[in-house]
């Protein structure tokens, strides 16, 4: 759609209606010292062909052939061409909120199928559709636990994604809630001694990464027992849901609420968004669950149909009764995940997870045989931490000049790990790429 600016007469008409003498008058409430003075230094206007040529020239400067081992919540996976073709159909890409089920059966059924897949993958009773991303879904899980238990404190493992932790703090702190971090141990897992010290009748719940930010896979059942004994809820946060094709589902390990990032399910990295927040709970928390839930029913003629069964948000019910401040769901991203998972199938998800695990283990072994240390012991999925002989940021900068994105500097969030590099390996990385990375690191 082309941008059509307002004419002078239209602008003057609008200013007259609002009672302003000029465009500048609309910003009179902003102190002069905070306003930009002068004119923007913009080049002269271009014709459409000139502009397209200019933009194509800028795009050509992007590095599109770099070898990447970046992860940390955004994962490169092969997305079959069929996914983009299917979700680009007009009936998928254009539907609005399905307020009227009579004309929204296609959208509602797609969401229902998505919910079913997520519930099965995580072994939970019910899933919604959906949250903005993994960070906000994790924060909403914290809010649910705080509201249900009527307590003021939520425990969060310090190995949960740092940006997720920041989001949790941002969302819960204005309401007077407190976030307390649980330290990790030498294995990169939750420090059980510190957890036991913090678990008491003040804790509304415990949030742990599964896998965590270091790629480590923790045991869940014993932590579930500890927080449940204290009267709190157990929550997992999963940045990389591809792992569920291989590791045990949290729903059978005592987890009450599941939060996850669904980007890996066909959505692509996309420079950071839009992403897909996954959220699922056990039955007893259904009515406290934020967002939308589509249910299956029958119409007056006995035919199967779909409706918004629950929509506990402020657009549907009185604001004071709303369970969250979510305004819209990531319907197209949820549809994309639904199509991707349907094409992959149960066995496909398992085989893909096994391939990711195998490639990661190969990389870890190669790194160890070349004299570098894997920082945390134990099982990991996709990601692992390498302890370098130099500052990680320096190594990253050096390898980037050779068109290799070596990983993520953990010193950015964990000062004690400034020499540690978070490396991610997926099915997109070839053996040759892994060998090249190892040779450069060592």
pLDDT in tens, 181-215: 999 999 999 999 999 999 999 999 999 999 999 99
Q: Which pLDDT band holds residue 95 (cuts at 50, 70, 90)? A: confident
Looking at residues 370-378, what average pLDDT do you find? Answer: 92
pLDDT at 388 > cutoff 60: yes
Residue 1: pLDDT band (50, 70, 90) is very low
pLDDT of residue 315: 54
- When pLDDT is averaged across residues 413-424 and rounded to a whole number, the result is 96
Is residue 367's pLDDT more than 90?
yes
β partners of residue 127: 280
Which pLDDT band holds residue 5 (cuts at 50, 70, 90)?
confident
Identify the band that residue 2 occupies on the pLDDT scale cut at 50, 70 and 90. Answer: low
pLDDT higher than 50, residue 293: yes
pLDDT value, residue 316:
60
Q: Torsions phi, psi of 238, nearest 5?
A: -120, 105
The answer to whether residue 440 scores a pLDDT higher than 80 is yes
Q: Which residue from 157, 147, 214 is spatially nearest to 385, judged by alpha carbons?
A: 214
Q: What is the mean pLDDT of the chain?
A: 92
Map out the domains of the chain with their CATH numbers.
67-79+346-441 (3.90.1150.10), 81-341 (3.40.640.10)
Report, as an integer, the average pLDDT of 289-297: 88
For residues 41-61, average pLDDT: 93
Residue 128: closest CA among 139, 114, 141? 114
Residue 299: its pLDDT value, please?
87
User: Helices 105-122 and 331-369, interaxial angle, to 10°?
Assistant: 30
- Mean per-residue pLDDT for 15-26? 91
- pLDDT recorded at residue 128: 92
What is the tens place of the pLDDT at every residue in 62-92? 877 899 999 999 999 999 999 999 999 988 8
Residue 93 reports pLDDT greater than 80: yes
Write the pLDDT tens digit of every residue in 110-168.
999 999 999 999 999 999 988 899 999 999 999 999 999 999 999 999 999 999 999 99
Which pairing describes strands 292-298 and 420-424: parallel, antiparallel, or unpaired? unpaired
* pLDDT at site 219: 96
């Amino acid at each position: 759609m082309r941008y059509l600016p307002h004419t002078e007469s239209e602008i003057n008409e609008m200013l007259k209606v609002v009672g302003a003498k000029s465009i500048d008058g609309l910003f009179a409430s902003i102190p002069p010292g905070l306003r930009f003075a002068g004119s923007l230094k913009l080049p002269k206007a271009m014709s459409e062909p000139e502009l397209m040529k200019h933009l194509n020239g800028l795009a050509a400067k992007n590095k599109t052939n770099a070898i990447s081992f970046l992860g940390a919540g955004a994962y490169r996976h092969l997305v079959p061409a069929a996914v983009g073709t299917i979700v680009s159909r007009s009936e998928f890409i254009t539907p609005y909120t399905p307020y009227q089920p009579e004309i929204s059966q296609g959208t509602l059924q797609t969401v229902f199928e998505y919910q079913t897949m997520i519930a099965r993958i995580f072994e939970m009773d019910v899933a919604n559709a959906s949250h903005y991303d993994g960070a906000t879904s994790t924060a909403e899980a914290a809010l649910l636990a705080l509201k249900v238990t009527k307590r003021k404190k939520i425990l969060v493992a310090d190995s949960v994604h740092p940006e997720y932790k920041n989001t949790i703090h941002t969302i819960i702190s204005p309401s007077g809630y407190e976030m307390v971090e649980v330290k990790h141990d030498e294995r990169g897992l939750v420090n059980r001694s510190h957890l036991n010290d913090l678990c008491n009748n003040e804790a509304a719940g415990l949030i742990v990464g599964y896998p965590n930010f270091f790629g480590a896979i923790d045991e869940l059942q014993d932590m579930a027992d500890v927080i449940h004994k204290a009267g709190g809820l157990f929550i997992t946060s999963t940045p990389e849901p591809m792992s569920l094709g291989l590791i045990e589902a949290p729903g059978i390990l005592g987890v009450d609420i599941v939060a996850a990032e669904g980007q890996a399910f066909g959505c692509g990295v996309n420079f950071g968004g839009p992403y897909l927040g996954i959220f699922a709970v056990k039955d007893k928390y259904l009515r406290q669950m934020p967002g939308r839930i589509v249910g299956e029913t029958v119409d007056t003629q006995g035919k199967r149909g779909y409706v918004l069964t629950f929509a506990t948000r402020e657009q549907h019910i009185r604001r004071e009764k709303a369970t969250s401040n979510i305004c819209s769901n990531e319907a197209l991203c949820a549809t994309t995940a639904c199509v991707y998972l349907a094409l992959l199938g149960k066995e496909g998800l398992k085989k893909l997870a096994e391939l990711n695990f195998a490639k990661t283990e190969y990389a870890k072994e190669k790194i160890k045989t070349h004299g570098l240390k894997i920082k945390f012991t134990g099982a990991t999925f996709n990601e692992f931490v390498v302890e370098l002989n130099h500052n990680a940021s320096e190594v990253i900068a050096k390898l980037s000049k050779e068109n290799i994105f070596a990983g993520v500097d953990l010193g950015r969030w964990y000062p004690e790990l400034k020499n540690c590099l978070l490396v991610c390996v997926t099915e997109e990385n070839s053996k040759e790429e892994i060998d090249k990375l190892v040779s450069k690191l060592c």
